[in-house]
Protein backbone atom coordinates (compact mmCIF):
# COMPACT_ATOMS: atom_id res chain seq x y z
CA UNK A 1 0.00 0.00 0.00
CA UNK A 2 1.17 3.55 -0.68
CA UNK A 3 -0.12 6.94 0.38
CA UNK A 4 -0.43 10.14 -1.64
CA UNK A 5 -0.44 13.63 -0.18
CA UNK A 6 -2.86 16.36 -1.26
CA UNK A 7 -1.69 19.97 -1.15
CA UNK A 8 -3.78 22.97 -0.11
CA UNK A 9 -4.29 23.60 -3.85
CA UNK A 10 -5.81 20.12 -4.28
CA UNK A 11 -2.77 18.72 -6.11
CA UNK A 12 -1.72 15.15 -5.37
CA UNK A 13 1.81 13.84 -4.96
CA UNK A 14 1.94 10.28 -6.28
CA UNK A 15 4.65 8.05 -4.79
CA UNK A 16 7.51 7.13 -7.18
CA UNK A 17 6.83 3.39 -6.86
CA UNK A 18 3.22 3.91 -7.98
CA UNK A 19 4.23 6.22 -10.85
CA UNK A 20 6.69 3.64 -12.16
CA UNK A 21 4.26 0.73 -11.77
CA UNK A 22 1.44 2.60 -13.56
CA UNK A 23 3.80 4.19 -16.12
CA UNK A 24 2.69 7.70 -15.11
CA UNK A 25 4.82 10.45 -16.63
CA UNK A 26 4.51 14.23 -16.83
CA UNK A 27 1.27 15.20 -18.59
CA UNK A 28 -0.24 11.70 -18.04
CA UNK A 29 -3.93 11.57 -17.20
CA UNK A 30 -5.13 9.56 -14.19
CA UNK A 31 -8.78 8.49 -14.04
CA UNK A 32 -10.47 8.08 -10.63
CA UNK A 33 -13.63 5.98 -10.44
CA UNK A 34 -15.73 5.91 -7.26
CA UNK A 35 -17.19 2.43 -6.86
CA UNK A 36 -20.54 1.68 -5.13
CA UNK A 37 -18.64 0.06 -2.24
CA UNK A 38 -16.99 3.42 -1.49
CA UNK A 39 -13.56 2.39 -2.75
CA UNK A 40 -11.82 4.27 -5.53
CA UNK A 41 -10.25 2.74 -8.62
CA UNK A 42 -7.45 4.64 -10.37
CA UNK A 43 -5.89 4.05 -13.77
CA UNK A 44 -3.57 5.96 -16.04
CA UNK A 45 -4.46 6.84 -19.63
Domains of the chain: 5-44 (2.10.260)
Instruction: Grade residue 8 by pLDDT with cuts at 50, 70 and 90.
Output: very high
Helix, strand, coil abundance in the chain, percent, nearest 5: 15, 30, 55
| pLDDT tens, residue by residue, 18-42 | 899 988 999 998 888 888 998 887 7
Q: What pLDDT shows up at residue 35? A: 87
Decide: pTM greater than 0.75. no
Q: What H or E segment, with its residue span, contains residue 33?
A: strand 30-34
Amino acid sequence: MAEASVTSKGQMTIPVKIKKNMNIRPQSKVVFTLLPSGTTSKRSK
